[in-house]
Amino acid sequence: MADEVRKKLLEKVKKAKYFSIILDCTPDISHKKQMSLVIRCLDESENSTKVKEYWIEFIEVDDTTGLGLFMHLKDSLINLGLDIDDIRGQGYDNGSNMKGKHKGAHKRLLEINSRAFYTPCGCHSLNLVLCDIANCCPQAMSFFGVIQRIYTLFSSSTKRWRIFKDHVKGLTVKPLSQTRWESHVESVKPIKEQIAQIRDALLDLTKETEDPKTKSEAESLALYELEKFEFLLGVVIWYNLLFAINTVSKFIQSKNIDIDVAIKLLQGILVFLEDYRESGFDKAIVEAKEMASVMGIEAVERLRLADDESLLMSCKNLEISLKHNGCSDVNGDDLFSKLTFLKCSLPEESTSAIDILDYLKRMDGCFPKQSC
């Protein structure tokens, strides 16, 4: 039946003559690399002509270099009876083995058929932006690590999942997608809307479990991670960003999307991010404080909560980061001493970095600026 279906699809492709190819690679359950071959062409078999995409087959690949992938593609097209000279378009993700301008698969094909115009995947580019944003920020990596830990803890056994369902009646926790970054919003949303109930489930798990490792992990998540104001703020910020980008990504993937509309949507995301930097952060703090109030958590600045060891390490790291040509903007030991004193004198109402800077300005002279 599969062969018959493929045969009918190939008849449509050959009737259209010209076609585009879309390739993507992913490992299967046996850890073998599989490359999907999708063909895009005109379908004239119905009353009206339509542009359609057909998945043709998976190609097992053992050489994932640009040359290796191109050779697999070439052999597959020959076996399917398709002429490589009839290709008029090629679309891949942004991997160097695919898009590389010197040795990538798209360049190898262009050397044979210069009319096979290459178009990078817009949604994949959007995903890479998100991925780079998170990977360059240790706090973001830690944040999503907590999200994944919560899912892993509850999903690892039916008993733990039952405890979760006893406390959380709405959305269930979900794992992080490794290929579609914008869909992380589906993992953040259950935490954002039900964080108090999830904390209760974790606390209940610490009482129910007899496994020391599970007990320790549940206590750490409930009493340390979820009760940090910085985590609540991260939940709000990342949900807002991911929701906006996920919405745009879905529009871009619409089969009827116009290229001009897609460009305007992407430009709109840039405007949204700029606006969020200006005003969104303050709104996020307000929402995070509301979440903290519901959970009975004090919205305090991290400085008050930092122990001496972690505070000293942060000061040392800042000194190293600001060092250039043997000179640094700060002395780590000196900064640690001043912050230790500041922790004791800081007013309770100072809950943000700006509040602390305002306080230091009012205390002008007590905390002199440092210079190299």
Report the pLDDT value the prediction gives residue 64, as an integer from 0 to 100.
78
What is the per-residue pLDDT across 2-51, written as a single tens digit (0 to 9) for each? 889 999 999 999 988 999 998 887 777 888 888 889 999 988 777 777 88
Q: Is residue 368 part of a domain?
A: no
Whether residues 108 and 150 share a domain: the answer is no
Residue 214 lies in a domain: yes
pLDDT band (50, 70, 90) for residue 371: very low
* Domain identity same for 287 and 261: yes
**Cβ-contact 77, 84 below 8 angstroms:** yes
What's the number of domains the chain is made of?
3
State the alpha helices, DSSP H only, in 1-94.
Answer: 2-16, 66-80
| Residue 23 parent element (H or E) | strand 19-27
Instruction: With respect to residue 143, please indicate whether it lies within any of the assigned structural domains.
Output: yes
Q: Are residues 110 and 222 in the same domain?
A: no
**When comparing pLDDT for 30 and 369, which is higher?**
30
What's the CA gap between 113 and 108, in Å, rounded?
9
pLDDT at 179: 67
Question: Is the model's pLDDT at 104 over the cut of 80?
Answer: no
**Per-residue b/e over 59-78, b at no fewer than 16 CB within 10 Å?**
bebeeebbebbbebbeebbe
Q: Residue 20: which H helix or E strand, with range?
A: strand 19-27
- Regarding whether 59 and 204 lie in a shared domain, the answer is no
Residue 370 domain-assigned (yes or no): no
CA 109-113-117 angle, to 5 degrees, is 75
pLDDT tens for residues 286-329? 899 899 888 887 766 666 656 778 788 888 888 888 888 888 88
Tell me whether residue 191 is in a domain: yes
Shared-domain flag, residues 116 and 140: no
What's the rounded mean pLDDT across residues 54-74?
86
Which range marks the domain in which residue 188 is found?
127-295
Task: Tell me, yes or no, whether 166 and 259 share the same domain.
Answer: yes
Q: Which of 1-10, 66-75, 143-152, 202-211 has the lowest mean pLDDT?
A: 66-75
Residues 281 and 142 in one domain: yes
Question: How far is 16 from 43, CA to CA, in rounded Å?
Answer: 7
Mean pLDDT of the chain: 83
Q: Is there a single domain that holds both residue 175 and residue 307?
A: no
> Which of 295, 318, 347 is the last residue before a domain boundary?
295
Whole-number pLDDT of residue 82: 92
Give the pTM: 0.64
**pLDDT value of position 158:** 93
pLDDT of residue 372: 45
Percentage of the chain with pLDDT > 90?
30
Going from the C-alpha of 135 to that of each of 18, 102, 141, the distances in angstroms are 41, 27, 6
Residue after which a domain boundary falls, among 263, 295, 327: 295
- Residue 372 in any domain: the answer is no
pLDDT in tens, 108-136: 888 888 888 887 766 667 777 777 777 77
Instruction: Give the domain CATH number at 102.
Output: 3.30.420
CA atoms of 350 and 300, how far apart (whole Å): 8
Nearest to 225 by CA among 166, 279, 153: 153
Residue 89 within any structural domain of the chain: yes
- DSSP symbols for 184-230: GHHHHHHHHHHHHHHHHHHHHHHHH---HHHHHHHHIIIIIITT-HH
74: Cβ contacts below 8 Å, ≥ 6 apart? 84
Q: Are 190 and 199 in contact (CB under 8 A)?
A: no
Q: Examine the domain organization and report whether 56 and 8 are in the same domain.
A: yes
The pLDDT of residue 183:
80
Identify whether residues 272 and 289 lie together within a single domain: yes
Half-sphere exposure of 55 (CA within 13 A, CB side): 7
* Distance of alpha carbon 340 from the chain centroid: 36
What is the structure's pLDDT at 4? Answer: 92
| pLDDT surpassing 70 at residue 348 | no
Domain end, chosen from 120, 147, 170, is at 120
Asked if 249 and 216 sit in the same domain, the reply is yes
Pair (138, 222) in one structural domain:
yes
Report yes or no on 257 lying in a domain.
yes
- Any bridge partners for residue 38, and if so which? 22, 55
